[in-house]
């Protein structure tokens, strides 16, 4: 009898058209609008903590950019000399009071170097916003895929429960009519119990997947766009995607730009600054007033800034090495993801197409043959088990395909031009 079923499977695989459906949607679908992936992404973007944190980082970087462009503040100096001493200086009659102002003058391009560092950090902060949005898209897509797959698995579990109940009723009729042994009824009852257990597990899994999606989008998902879940891209040769211009490499390049700016800043800080001062001095004894001028220059005897410059250069070398490593990692990850997408797409088309059609036809023939007494119960159970496994494999293959596709899109997400957004 197994040879009969195998022959039916082979014939159906050759003759049946490719079918994308794995199982009909659950009968009790929630009412309301159908939640598409694009709508889920839109809802999640409105309340995403990661994106909000990255946006706050941009505001902080822009504030630091404004602070970097400010010049040093002047100082007001007040001095009193020749007071509270001895002899003629015991009081205030010989006091010399000086009131003046000091103004630091930055040399060596320190201000422009600070601005360069702040600009590089601001550019990286804007890239982090795009990266956070890409990460959110991946997370929401994966949650949407898992929820859709759970809905499909739940539909399969309900179908298997109904089939198990029908098989139990048929077995009872055969046993009551004396056409089968009570063992057949026991087997059918075991199948029903297992189907009820699988249905309960499917309901819990679907509830969990929907709850996870709801946490991301901030509301109940409602009815999901299951038609999107069943679609795959067309087969055929595809161009391999390059790692150039991706977010990962753009972030690494932004780190190099920041390190270069830090080197320029460290180099500028080796140039001593001048402090100019000017004031007026009043001599209490003669009631005369005289002008006072001064210039101060720090002497770089102990700290000439060489160590800071060496550290900045080493960090620049580190950033360059990390960028080269990021290129290799990105290329490897993209190649692996492209292979996973191709394999998952082939598995999805096979499992949801010829294999599923053949399993459905074999189960249909086995049910008819069992009712007519041509097939035994074991043949029927084997056909039903094969159908359930094929439907589950089709759902798993579609979920794996969409997950691999989402990860590939995240790896190849392009970095926008950020120079035009600088203030």
Q: Which residues contact 147 (CB under 8 A, 6 or more apart)?
A: 206, 209, 210, 212, 213, 221, 224
> What is the distance between the alpha carbons of residues 312 and 302, in angstroms, rounded to a whole number?
19
Average pLDDT taken over every residue of the chain: 83
User: What domains sit in the chain, N to C, each tagged with a CATH number?
Assistant: 2-71+106-270+305-421 (1.20.1600.10), 72-105+271-304 (2.20.200)
Closest CA to 258 of 128, 130, 123, 131: 123
Q: When comparing pLDDT for 5 and 263, which is higher?
A: 263
Which is it for strands 34-35 and 223-224: parallel, antiparallel or unpaired?
parallel
Q: When comparing pLDDT for 167 and 399, which is higher?
A: 399
Q: What is the pLDDT of residues 272-324, one digit of tens each?
A: 999 999 999 888 778 888 899 999 999 888 888 899 999 999 999 999 999 99
Q: What is the pLDDT of residues 219-262, one digit of tens each?
A: 899 899 888 988 887 554 566 678 888 999 999 999 999 999 99
The secondary structure of 275-311, three-state, reads: EEEEEEEEECCCCEEEEEEEEECCCCCCCCCHHHHHH
| pLDDT computed for residue 64 by the predictor | 94
| pLDDT computed for residue 15 by the predictor | 35
Task: Using the predicted structure, report yes or no on whether residue 4 has a pLDDT greater than 60.
Answer: no
| pLDDT computed for residue 137 by the predictor | 94
């Amino acid at each position: 009898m197994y040879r009969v079923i195998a022959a039916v499977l082979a014939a159906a695989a050759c003759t049946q058209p490719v079918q994308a459906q794995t199982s009909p949607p659950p009968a009790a679908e929630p009412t309301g609008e159908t939640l598409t992936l694009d709508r889920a992404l839109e809802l999640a973007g409105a309340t995403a903590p990661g994106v909000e944190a990255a946006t706050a980082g941009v505001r902080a970087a822009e504030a630091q950019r404004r602070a970097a462009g400010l010049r040093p503040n002047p100082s007001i100096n007040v001095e009193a000399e020749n007071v509270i001493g001895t002899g003629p200086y015991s009081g205030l009659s010989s006091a010399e009071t000086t009131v003046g102002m000091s103004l630091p003058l930055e040399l060596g391009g320190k201000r422009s170097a600070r601005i360069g560092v702040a600009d590089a950090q601001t550019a990286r902060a804007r890239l982090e916003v795009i990266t956070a949005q890409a990460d959110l898209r991946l997370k929401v897509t994966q949650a949407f895929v898992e929820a859709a797959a759970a809905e499909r698995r739940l539909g399969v579990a309900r179908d298997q429960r109904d089939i198990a109940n029908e098989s139990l009723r048929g077995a009872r009729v055969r046993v009551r009519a004396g056409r089968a042994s009570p063992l057949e009824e026991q087997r059918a009852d075991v199948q029903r119990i297992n189907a009820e257990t699988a249905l309960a597990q499917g309901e819990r899994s679907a509830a969990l997947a929907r709850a996870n999606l709801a946490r991301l989008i901030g509301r109940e998902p409602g009815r999901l766009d299951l038609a999107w879940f069943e679609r795959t891209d067309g087969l055929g040769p595809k161009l391999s995607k390059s790692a150039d211009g991706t977010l990962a490499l753009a972030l690494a390049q932004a780190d190099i730009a920041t390190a270069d700016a830090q080197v320029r800043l460290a180099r500028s800080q080796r140039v001593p600054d001048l402090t100019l001062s000017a004031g007026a001095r009043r001599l209490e004894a003669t009631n005369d007033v005289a002008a006072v001028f001064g210039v101060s220059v720090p002497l770089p005897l102990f700290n000439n800034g060489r160590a800071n410059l060496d550290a900045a250069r080493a960090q620049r070398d580190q950033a360059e090495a990390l960028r080269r490593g990021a290129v290799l990692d990105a290329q490897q990850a993209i190649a692996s993801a492209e292979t996973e997408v191709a394999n998952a797409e082939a598995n999805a088309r096979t499992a949801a197409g010829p294999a599923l059609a053949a399993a459905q036809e074999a189960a249909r023939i086995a049910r008819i043959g069992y009712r007519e007494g041509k097939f035994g119960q074991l043949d029927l159970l084997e056909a039903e088990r094969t159908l359930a496994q094929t439907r589950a494999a089709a759902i798993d293959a579609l979920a794996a395909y969409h997950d691999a596709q989402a990860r590939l899109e995240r790896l190849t997400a392009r970095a926008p031009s950020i120079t035009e957004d600088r203030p």
